[in-house]
């Protein structure tokens, strides 16, 4: 079944997954930022009722206003610079009414910018934790370490 909504960039990870699912004739629901509110709610209800087990959601669209307690697995394909955005999208499955465990995967190719983004996430998390704890870790991250995180030679 083709996706319900085709607003995603044709070169995005989500668009590539949609294309492959269509080739394999695998049914799914699809939601991105261009999905109208009424259609969005209908898609969520369909998923929540168990009428469809695969739900492709762009990170932007999944970051707010969804209750997906029927989700058993979440797979992040494309990390954002701000890990809080991913966390917020993931939290859509951890709502009141969730009775089942949820497994979260992040699929990242080695030696890619996405791998560098995850390294940056870890550094940001360490810095935030250190600041909240009142330690001085933030003073130990050098300019060279920051540049290494962003360089392709990591």
Mind listing the pLDDT tens digit for each residue in 8-50? 555 578 888 999 999 999 999 999 888 898 899 999 999 999 9
Q: What sign results for the dihedral spanned by CA atoms 100, 82, 114, 30?
A: positive
Between CA 68 and CA 66 the distance in angstroms is 6
Assess whether pLDDT exceeds 80 at residue 57.
yes
**Domain finish residue from 74, 90, 106:** 106
* Shared-domain flag, residues 75 and 22: yes
Residue-range definition of the domain harbouring residue 121: 113-150
* Shared-domain flag, residues 66 and 121: no
* Shared-domain flag, residues 45 and 91: yes
Question: Exposed, middle or buried: residue 33 (CB in 10 Å: 0-12, 13-18, 19+)?
Answer: middle
Mind listing the pLDDT tens digit for each residue in 98-148? 788 888 888 888 888 888 888 887 777 777 666 666 555 545 667 777 677
Task: Using only the alpha carbons of the chain, give its radius of gyration.
Answer: 18
Domain count, the chain: 2
* Shared-domain flag, residues 26 and 102: yes
Q: Can you read off the two tokens belonging to residue 89?
A: 């999208």
* Shared-domain flag, residues 91 and 122: no
Assess whether pLDDT exceeds 80 at residue 97.
no
Residue 24 lies inside a defined structural domain of this protein: yes
CATH number at residue 65: 3.40.50.300
* Shared-domain flag, residues 92 and 120: no
* Shared-domain flag, residues 78 and 140: no
Q: Can you read off the two tokens belonging to residue 56?
A: 């492709």
């Amino acid at each position: 079944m083709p996706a319900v909504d085709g607003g995603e960039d044709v070169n995005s990870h989500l668009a590539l997954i949609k294309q492959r699912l269509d080739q394999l004739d695998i049914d799914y629901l699809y939601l991105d930022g261009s999905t109208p509110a009424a259609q969005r709610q209908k898609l969520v209800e369909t998923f929540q009722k168990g009428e469809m087990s695969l739900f492709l959601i762009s990170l932007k669209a999944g970051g707010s206003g969804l209750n997906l307690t029927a989700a058993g697995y979440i797979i992040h394909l494309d990390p954002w610079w701000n890990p809080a955005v991913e966390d917020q999208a993931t939290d859509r499955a951890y709502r009141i009414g969730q009775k089942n465990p949820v497994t979260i995967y992040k699929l990242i190719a080695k030696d890619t910018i996405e791998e560098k983004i995850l390294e940056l996430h870890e550094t940001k998390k360490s810095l935030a934790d250190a600041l909240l704890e009142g330690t001085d870790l933030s003073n130990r991250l050098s300019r060279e370490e920051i540049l290494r995180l962003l360089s392709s030679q990591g």
